[in-house]
Amino acid sequence: MELRQLEHFMALCEEMHFTKTAEKLRIGQPTLSYQMKALEDELGVRLFDRLGKKIGITESGKILLEHSKMVFANLESAKEQIGELQNVKRGKLVIGTLSGDLNHIASAVLLEFHSLYPDVQIQIFSLDDVVEKVIQNEFDLALTLMPGKDERLTNISLYEEEFFLAVRRDHVWSDRNAIDFKEIQHIPLILNPKGHFFRQLLEAECNASGIQIRPIIESTDSMSILNLVKEGIGATIISNTLFSLENKGELKAIRIMNPAIIREVTIVHHKQKHIGKAAKGFIDLLISHVNRFNVGVYNHLLGIK
């Protein structure tokens, strides 16, 4: 079994078509067919079901595909580690953040990170759900709310985040300091769309409590949502961090209870991916930043001196 065979096998799994795969690899179709037949003969199993011009991967093929991905991920990790021995400060770091306050937190450490690793190219992307990008090896790290249990991921806990109902100070409920969770179904809400990770968690909480929410407006832009709330159009549910960062006195935070909405903020990375010195440095800076400022943000929100 050769690495080139496995590379061609993985390409065929992606295209599911011998002719298209051969063209993509710039080899003859007979060569590709011979390689796959030799691979099957060596393993003693069929990797593909051939149905005329179409093919489908077998259960044995799925197992080989999963392990092939691990093989090449490990090789890439080895290259990165060897490269670090030559120069620990070069390279590229791609980070994803859940849109909103987590993007603020990641961006807050950029200046310090750049001073420590001036030759590392860093990219930060803000998306509605960044976990899948980590799983697909497109992001090195992601800053997000704690995802469901996934054996492919390593989670590094940062802090717990409470979410509050944010209303304009002249809102009919602005004299309240707390509301029951079930009461949010009666409030005109402006929220992220259902594809957003926090919205998915909120919907799950609603289902568990037997209620439904129907937002009057949905937007992927947290700043636009807050501006609409400031205009008195509706209310929103927002993290304590983002509220403290963006509120200039126009809004009031009302605690949600029974249950409270508390989520764990975490850094995630793929277990099979090598986390180099630059990535570890970024994680350390995030942890340090959170330890310095998170408690102060929370106390500010609740008016604690």
Q: Is the pLDDT of residue 303 over 50?
A: no
Single-letter residue type at 213: I
The predicted model gives 69-79 an average pLDDT of 81
The predicted model gives 124-138 an average pLDDT of 87
Closest to 136 (Cα-Cα) out of 156, 157, 150? 150
DSSP for 218-251, written as a single string: E-S-HHHHHHHHHTTS-BEEEEHHHHHHH-SSSE
CA distances from 220 to 29, 225, 227, 283 (A): 46, 8, 13, 26
Quick: pLDDT tens for 199-236: 888 999 999 999 999 899 999 888 899 999 999 999 99
Phi, psi of 22 (to 5 degrees): -60, -40
pLDDT of residue 83: 67
What does pLDDT average to over the chain? 85
Residue-range domains of the chain with CATH: 3-84 (1.10.10.10), 88-158+264-302 (3.40.190.10), 160-263 (3.40.190.290)
pLDDT of residue 299: 45
Residues sharing a CB contact under 8 Å with residue 215, sequence separation 6 or more, in sequence order: 189, 190, 191, 234
For residue 150, the SS3 value is coil
pLDDT of residue 302: 42
C-alpha span between 286 and 284 (Å, rounded): 5
Quick: pLDDT tens for 237-275: 998 888 887 888 899 999 999 999 988 889 999 988 878
Residues sharing a CB contact under 8 Å with residue 257, sequence separation 6 or more, in sequence order: 178, 179, 180, 181
Proportion of the chain above pLDDT 90, given as a percent: 39
pLDDT band, very low/low/confident/very high, at 300 (cuts 50, 70, 90) = very low
pLDDT of residue 95: 93
**Selected residue with higher pLDDT from 30 and 78:** 30
- Alpha-carbon 93 to chain mean position: 15
pLDDT of residue 298: 43
